[in-house]
Amino acid sequence: MVWKQDLAKLKQQLGEAPSLPPPKPVPRPADKPVAPVDLNTEDALFLAAMGRRQARPTPARVPEIQATPVEPPPPPPETFAEAVADLKGLKPLARPTMRPKPAAPLPPPPAAPVPEAPELQPESALPPPPPAEPALPPPLPTRPARFQLAAGMALEVDGVLDLRGHSQQDAIERLKDRLADGLLLGWRSIQVFLGTDPDLHEGLLALLESGEAPMITRYAQAPVPMGGAQAWLLYFAPPA
């Protein structure tokens, strides 16, 4: 038939297909070992799973261990005397008695050092007392300096005191009080009127020369426009 011829030509063109090898049988999974196996057995199982065969190893025989009978220990002696009796030629030692050692005596406390008494020196060996310093003389009273002013000049003063008509003692006391006030107020000068009474002029000069008015450093007769011979100008010390 025609189709058979065509089939034969097609087989010739394609060529005969190679025959496939038969499928390999699937190895049976090995049973899981219950007890631990040796190394040869594990190798055989591994090769069997990979499709190879190996001679089944013979399991190694474990030698049987025979238990040796253990003799029980001899019973202990009932008393210490029986145990000593078993020992021949030995005598029991006497139990030593412990005696307490006597306590060592404590050392005596150290004696306190006795302070040495200072050596007494004879009076001739003592150094002579220092010479007494000479007494200083009392300071001299500060006396103000007297100077001269021009007759026709007129000056400004910080204070004015008029003692005309007073006695010498009353005038001196008033002058001392006014000088103390001027020192506190910071005055620089004061004008004192005495008039023509010579006792008042002598009392003023005696007060300045005695040093009882240390705040006054200079004094002068007043110029004619400021009283002339009947008045004096007193100047205070400058503030420190």
Over residues 17-57, the pLDDT tens digits come to 555 566 666 666 655 555 566 677 777 777 777 765 555 55
pLDDT tens digits, one per residue of 83-109: 666 665 556 566 656 676 667 777 777
Per-residue model confidence (pLDDT) at position 70: 67
What mean pLDDT do residues 60-72 have? 62
Residue-level length of the chain: 240
Higher pLDDT, 240 or 227: 227
What ranges do the domains of the chain cover?
145-236
Q: What is the mean pLDDT of the chain?
A: 76
Sole residue written with tokens 């406390």: 109
pLDDT value at 124 more than 90: no
pLDDT band at 179 (very low <50, low <70, confident <90, very high): very high
- The C-alpha atoms of residue 152 and residue 226 are separated, in whole angstroms, by 9
Q: Which CATH number fits domain 145-236: 3.40.50.300, 3.90.660.20, 3.30.1370.110, 3.30.830.10?
A: 3.30.1370.110
- Residues contacting residue 201 through CB under 8 Å, at least 6 positions apart: 194
pLDDT digits (tens, 9 = 90+) for 127-171: 777 777 776 666 656 789 999 999 888 899 999 999 999 999 999
**Using 50, 70 and 90 to split pLDDT, how confident is the model at 75?**
low
**pLDDT above 70 as % of the chain:** 57
Choose between 81 and 113: higher pLDDT: 113
What is the model's pLDDT at position 217?
94
Would you say residue 62 has pLDDT above 60?
A: no
Identify the band that residue 113 occupies on the pLDDT scale cut at 50, 70 and 90: confident
Please give the pLDDT value at position 129: 74
